[in-house]
Structure formats: structure tokens, C-alpha cells
Amino acid sequence: MQNESSFLISRDQARVIAAGLRTLSEVDGADAGGKERALIEEFLRDAGHPDLIAAIGGDSFDPATAYQVLGTRFLRRLFLEAAVILVRSDGRVSEAEHEALDWLSRGFGVDGGADALLANTAAHQF
């Protein structure tokens, strides 16, 4: 059984998460100080797939495919929360990032779109 304190992220799951995060990081053309790229690299190292760092930017991203590859509610939530953390890493959510989060949240079936995703994630951050 998979739980929040013990789980594995497969290579395909890590790759799709990194591709989605990279897509979000590029929508506004701003990655001040490389924080967004650093977060993606940190995720890949923590997930046990540091070899995928060199491939960042080489994969396209499709929310429907990501939804299927991630497979569990827990991994989908992990990805969506990582997406919110990434877009907030520079201290603000640009209009382009908000639109991209809305596109992503619709693909993952989040009622209320980006606004609900941002509000829900903010309520659970520690």
C-alpha cells in the first residue's frame, strides 16, 4: 500500500512531472535566479532520478497523458501542489502562469480551476 510517508515515483512518472513543471516554468518567460529550474532539478534528485535532469526541456507535456501516467490520487495531488509551489517560487503568480494552471487544473478535473487550486494548496502549505 502506498502512503504519504513511503512511496516510489517511477521513471515515467518523474519524467511527466518534470515535463509539466518545465512547461509551467516557461509560460511567463521569467525564471528569476533559476529558482524554478532548481525546484525541478531538486524534485528529480529527491525522486531518485537525477539522470533525468539533463533531459529537462526535451519532453512535451499533455495533462491527459500526465493524469494517466500518474495513476493515483496521491501522485496527481503531489504534482498539482508542486505546480503551485513552482509558480509561486518567485513571489507572485503571473497572468500567464494563472492561465496555465487553469489549463492544467481542467485537465486534472479540479473544480473551480486555477483559483480553487491556488486557494486549496495555500490552505495546506506548512
Condensed to tens digits (0 to 9), the pLDDT of residues 99-114 reads 999 998 888 888 888 8
The predicted structure's pLDDT at residue 16? 95
Grid coordinates given for 37: 529550474
Report the pLDDT value the prediction gives residue 4, as an integer from 0 to 100: 46
Question: Which pLDDT belongs to residue 72?
Answer: 92
User: What single DSSP character describes residue 58?
Assistant: S
C-alpha grid cell, residue 78? 503531489
Which ranges constitute the DSSP H helices of 1-112?
A: 11-26, 35-46, 63-70, 73-88, 95-107
The answer to whether residues 23 and 63 touch, using CB atoms and an 8 Å cutoff, is no
Give the pLDDT of residue 5: 45
**How high is the pLDDT of residue 30?**
67
pLDDT of residue 119: 83
Residues in the chain with pLDDT values less than 50: 1-6, 126
Distances in Å between the Cα of 96 and the Cα atoms of 13, 23, 25, 60, 114 are: 25, 11, 10, 18, 11
All residues at 6 or more sequence positions from 115 whose CB lies less than 8 Å from its CB, including other chains: none
Cα separations (Å) of 63 from 4, 27, 90, 102, 125? 23, 15, 24, 11, 24
